[in-house]
């Protein structure tokens, strides 16, 4: 029941985000005097509507988004009443059209930033000092957490019957900091990995610090198969293992006061902006992995997800009482919606903004050259490109939805 509740809540959060995006367009258009005839949540048959002033508001049967109708978005619109011609959107200055088209994006970014600021105060944000990569983790002190077993083959899996016990369990404890192996000092986790792997399997003297006191223990290092550090070729070799994991002595989340939360929000927003752009740039190379996950391969956690996958993750978060994950998913969703809609391609908002400024720049150049103003861009000539974007986007959406149904990404074991 909790899982289903989470799915519904996150689907509702998506619907609210998209609807507020459209409200951003509507409100700015009305503010500048453009005529907005319709604002609906959802698509398909109308369930309920009412008219206030010149705008009809309502709900439609398919809750997969929303839309608003601004009169005369392009000069080619043929449904503009002659009486409304002066209020057609395309007749307004370029900066006003830019504000209107960017209004939805601004709403999504505002939702993400305000939610981040609130999360920084009441829930906490990821600790910027917590190692986010393997390279950063290797610089941490070699404070250990005893593993339940040693996996002999080179595989990332849970312990299974028959796996040998962790050698460290013979004499070490969680929280011990390893300082030397057979007299060879280690300053951090990375050096400990190197020294352990370079030590022959079998008896070894492990020096450590426990509760401020130094100590040593005689352990029998296990013989395992591992790939060399920083080597992703898949080749393995026989090395030693201590049977421990890294126990990072830093909180994963940090809360802030109202003022400090502003700076933390700004820093996190900058990191999210970079991560979002990088993730969008990697989408084409992830398509083969998405297809493979549909045909039986393991789902790569780094592959894109659809609204179906995001809602399922929201359900998992609620089911496991991990509301911080739910909130961060909501923030990431709005940041992605904002960034995606800024792409300079029709029918995205960024495409309309790009065309508006292209027209302005072209008119300026022609005026300096003493040539007649070439006028507005003919949107009909751009329709083949627009249809191509829609077709590619539709195919990609179908691919991600199928993968999220057949082989979804999961964060918890259910």
Which amino acids are annotated catalytic?
22
CA nearest 238: which of 200, 204, 189, 186?
Answer: 200
CA angle 79/80/83 to nearest 5° reads 145
Burial of residue 127 (CB within 10 Å: 0-12, 13-18, 19+) is middle
Of 68, 115, 24, whose CA–CA distance to 333 is shortest?
A: 115
Please tell me the distance from the alpha carbon of residue 314 to that of residue 137, in angstroms, as a whole number: 28
Q: CB under 8 Å to 317, separation ≥6 — which residues? A: 6, 323, 325, 326, 329, 411
Q: Which residues contact 289 (CB under 8 A, 6 or more apart)?
A: 297, 300, 303
- First-last CA distance in the chain: 13
CA gap 262, 273 in Å, rounded: 16
């Amino acid at each position: 029941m909790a899982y289903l509740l989470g799915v519904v809540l996150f689907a509702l959060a998506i619907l609210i985000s998209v609807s507020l995006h459209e409200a951003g367009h509507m409100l700015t258009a009305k503010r500048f005097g453009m005529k907005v005839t319709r604002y609906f949540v959802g698509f398909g048959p109308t369930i309920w509507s009412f008219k206030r002033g010149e705008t009809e508001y309502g709900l439609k049967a398919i809750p997969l988004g929303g839309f608003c109708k601004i009169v005369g978005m392009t000069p080619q619109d043929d449904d503009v009443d002659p009486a409304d011609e002066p209020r057609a959107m395309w007749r307004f200055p370029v900066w006003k059209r830019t504000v209107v088209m960017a209004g939805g994006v601004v709403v999504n970014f505002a939702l993400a930033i305000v939610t981040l600021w609130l999360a920084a105060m009441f829930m906490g944000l990821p600790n910027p000092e917590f190692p986010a990569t393997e390279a950063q983790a290797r610089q941490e002190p070699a404070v250990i957490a005893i593993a339940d077993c040693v996996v002999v083959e080179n595989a990332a899996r849970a312990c299974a019957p028959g796996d040998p016990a962790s050698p460290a369990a013979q004499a070490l404890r969680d929280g011990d900091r390893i300082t030397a192996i057979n007299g060879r000092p280690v300053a951090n986790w990375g050096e400990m990995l190197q020294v352990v792997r370079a030590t022959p399997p079998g008896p070894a003297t492990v020096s450590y610090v426990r509760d401020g006191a130094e100590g040593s223990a005689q352990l029998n290092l296990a013989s395992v198969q591992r790939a060399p550090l920083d080597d992703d070729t898949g080749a393995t070799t026989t090395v030693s293992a201590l049977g421990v994991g890294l126990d990072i002595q830093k909180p994963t989340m940090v809360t802030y006061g109202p003022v400090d939360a502003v700076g933390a929000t700004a820093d996190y927003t900058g990191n999210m902006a970079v991560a979002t752009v990088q993730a969008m740039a990697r989408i084409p190379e992830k398509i083969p992995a998405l297809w493979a996950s549909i045909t039986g391969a393991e789902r790569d956690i780094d592959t894109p997800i659809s609204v179906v996958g995001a809602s399922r993750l929201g359900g998992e978060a609620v089911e496991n009482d991990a509301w911080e994950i739910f909130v961060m998913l909501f923030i990431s969703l709005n940041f992605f919606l904002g960034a995606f809609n800024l792409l300079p391609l029709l029918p995205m908002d960024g495409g309309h903004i790009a065309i508006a400024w292209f027209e302005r720049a072209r008119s300026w150049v022609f005026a300096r050259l003493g040539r007649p103003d070439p006028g507005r861009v003919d949107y009909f000539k751009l329709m083949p490109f627009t249809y191509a974007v829609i077709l590619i986007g539709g195919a990609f959406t179908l691919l991600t939805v199928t993968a999220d149904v057949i082989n979804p990404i999961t964060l918890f074991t259910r």
